[in-house]
Every structure is written in structure tokens, then in C-alpha cells.
Chain A
Amino acid sequence: MNALIQNFFNSLALGGLYALIAVGYTMVYGILRLINFAHGDIFMMGTYFAFYAITLLLLPWWLGFLFAIFITGLLGYSIEKIAYRPLRNAPRISSLITAIGMSFFLESFAVVVFGGIPKSFNVYPKMFSDVIIIGKTRIPVLTFITIIVTVLLFLFLWWLLYKTKTGLAMRAISVDIPTTSLMGANVNNVISITFIVGSSFAAVAGILWAMKYPQVQPYMGFTPGLKAFVAAVIGGIGSIQGAIVGGFLLGFLEIMLVGFFPNLAGYRDVFAYVTLVIILMFRPTGIFKIYSEQKV
């Protein structure tokens, strides 16, 4: 029972992280029909920005984290503007290849500038690694923080999408870019905001991730990025609810599998991809299908 409660909270935290990253994939896909393969590396850059903001710029940890989130948002904005915007009307395969190239570029940049040796991410207050003991259940403080931050960010996202004009334009753009510009909306700005939000979310996930597995290295974005992408596809890429559900689903499957069958622990990654294959076999569009037909 204790193990179950512990696993439940761990699943929520891990699922939340996957969902945070997956939202970035799905928002960009929903608007531009582009799979932003660099998203996992934006996640990685976010952790480095946090690391250096605290160790090099000597900012207090909370300011360092906020600074990193802001800079990562700026990075996402620049990537869209420099790499993807010029290709917006080009064949889709061109932007896809550009996204893969951007992923390689960011990884190589990190190797050259930050160095390939993993760095210890010991830049956060020690109380985060404390363990709360309720009865016989032991849950790290960080797990609670992760869950709370995730919930707050999703509430923010819901508010942005459904209560603001920008969110209205984001939802409109996802079906029809030219018609949205006919409404008097500057579509470039709306797309920029989408990249900023997605990248900032990735930075938050990256920082939480680096505290959980306390080190940073240039390829750390690959696996979480790929799994979050799987989560987005399972949920139905393009759908934000789908990305969130897919993220949590993957988190639960992974933790519970390892929790109940410890000798299968080595297969946890395989399990995520097997889930993807099974879901795609029965629901090729994922759990939530995005609106694709338009009545004429």
C-alpha cells in the first residue's frame, strides 16, 4: 500500500514532466504542422541556462531559474524566427529536416561551449531533496513541487488559451493561418508567443528534471524529448488535452511497471514505445483527435 502511494506520486511527477514537454511539441504541431525535433534540446538548454545563471552570474536560485525560463523562451522565439519562419511556405519536409538540423546544432553547441562532461546540478536549496515521511510512505519534497508547478502551469495554459485574445488567435491559427490574419491578427506574433510558451515550459521541465536526476549534459534532452513526443502522439498530436493525458499515461505506465515488476526495470523505455505502437494500431490519430475536417 505504501509502495502504491509512493508510486502514485512519482507517476504524477514524472507524468507531469512529460506532459510539460509534450505540450510544447503539440502546440507547435497544432499551428505549423511541424514536429519540432529541437524541442528536447531546448529542454536541455534550459537546464544549462539555469546552471550558469546560478554558478556564473551568481543569481539566487529562484532568480536563476526564472532567468533561465525567460532566456529559454527567447531561444525558442529566435529558433522560430531564424530557422522555421523563412520556410513557412516551403514543403513540410524542408522544415522537418531543419528541425532535425537545429537539434544537432543545439547538441553540438552545448558540447563545444558547455563541454561534454556531465555537470552536477547542485544549485538548488537542499530542502528540495528532503523526504516527507507520512506513516511509512516516503515522498521527496521535489515530487510535490513538481506536481504543484505542473498543475499551476497547466492552469496558466488553460487561462491563456480560453480567456485571452491571444489564446483565441492561437486556436484559430491552428485551423487556418491566412483567415486568422484576415481577422486583423498578426500571425507572426501569435506563432512567436506559441514558441515562447512551449520553450519556457520545456525549461521548467528541464530544471525540475535536473533536480530529480541532478546532473546536466548535452544529450540529456534526447530521451525525455523522445518520450514526450511519444506522449504527444499517443494523446493525439495537435491536441493539448491529448498531450497532457498522454504525458500522465506514460508517466504512470513507466513507474507502475517498474514498481510492480522490478525485474523488468531495464525495459522501461521499451515499454513507452510499445505503448505507442499499440495505441497507434487501434487509434492512429491518438486518443484525442484534432479537428481536421472543415465544412465547406
Chain B
Amino acid sequence: MVKRSTWSLPYVIFLVVFVVLPLLLIVLYAFQDGSGHFTLANIGRFFTDSDSLQTFALSIEVAIENTLICILLGYPAAWILANRNLNKSAVTVMLFIMPMWINALMRTLATAELFNVLGITLGKGTLLFGMVYDYIPFMVYPIYNILLKMDKSYAEAAEDLGATPWKVFWKVTVPLSMPGVMSGVLMVFMPTVSTFAISEFLTNNKIKLFGTIIQENINSSMWNYGAALAFIMLVIIGITTLFGNNDQAEAEGGLI
């Protein structure tokens, strides 16, 4: 009988061709000029071009703000949803998760149109609102999940030992739920930096984020510079993943 571990072979080959090779190509194109010679000019161009640098800084800023607001608004929501005394309804939980299932472009467009009709000028404020609107379910869900699975006896023990509810929350509940917060951060931070259509819709093309300049360069056939920008993003992903150091996949995998 054939060993069943060989069953992974087709997928390994698939992964090498469609995941590893493409990522290597980003690196290859990033360090090549138009005629295929090795160069550092693409990377250098990013660090000397004030427009690109500004866009980059703004993207990081928006992503940090978005992530923080999502935590501030999402954590209490997740906590209430997971608390048996405050919420017993599975439907409310479902209502929070449901937007994740609806095309993000469609939701963003609806938000932008609503702003238009209400006469609110599109700009940084609406961008941030729209981002929070788009990404908050991705923060609520993993935190909710981890709070639900949390062993309640720790909190009870702290209470028995005389901790105030406030202290129990900060010293027990919050530290134990950190893995959930981390996967939420992973699901919110990088996607915010890399979105392109969303920022265009929400600001009427006034504000560009990093994803937009990658897309513009690739689409106007400036593949090498586009690849260099994508390479910079890859480096950041590497860093944030190491920093996050836990399996985002686990949180996402349990969606159903």
C-alpha cells in the first residue's frame, strides 16, 4: 500500500508553484531594473520619494488608528456577547459576524453613498469611520471566541481572593484574552494598510493608501517598482507576524 503521507505531495507542489514561487518573484522583480539586471534602485526610489513615504506613513497611521478604535469598540462588545448574564441570544452574535460574509466592496460603497446623501464631505474622518465599519467584525469575533472558551474558574478564584470586579477584569480577563486580541489585530492591521478600493471609495480618491500605489504601479506596467513596494509590505508582514506570533488561521478557521 502506498504511504498516505505521500498524499500531501500534490498540494506541496501546488503550494510551491502558486505560493512560494510567486513570492520569490516579488523579491526578484523588486531587485531588478526593466531589462533584468540587479539593482537597488527600486527600493532606493521608495526611500527617497517623499510622496511614497508620506503615503506609507499615512497608511500606517490609519491602520494603527483603525486597529485601536476596533479594539476599543470591539472588546466591550465581545465581552458583553460572551457574558451569559448580559447576553443569551445567539442571534445578536450572528448579527455581529454577518457583515464578514457580505462583500466588503459592497458594504464600503453603501457607506460612502450614505455619507454622500447625508452631505458629509469625504475625507480622513469618513475613511476612518468606513475602515472601522469594515473591520470591526474581524476584531469582535476572535475576542468573543476566546472569551467564550475561557475557564471561568480563574475569574472566580480572583473574586474569592477579594479582587474587585474591575481588578478581575484587568488582571485576569484581559490577559487571558490577549491571544484573541492579537488575532484580531492581525486580521485588521495588515488588511488596512493594503486595501486599495476601500480608501478610494471612502475619500473620493482624495486620500491614497499604500495598497493604492502598489496597484497603480502594477497597472501602469511599472512592475519593478510595484514589486519593490509589495516587497516592503512583505517585510512588514514578516515583522508583524513574528510579533503577533500566533495562529491567525486558528481564529479564522473556526468561522463555521
- The answer to whether A binds B is no
Binding site for B on A (CB under 8 A): none
Binding site for A on B (CB under 8 A): none
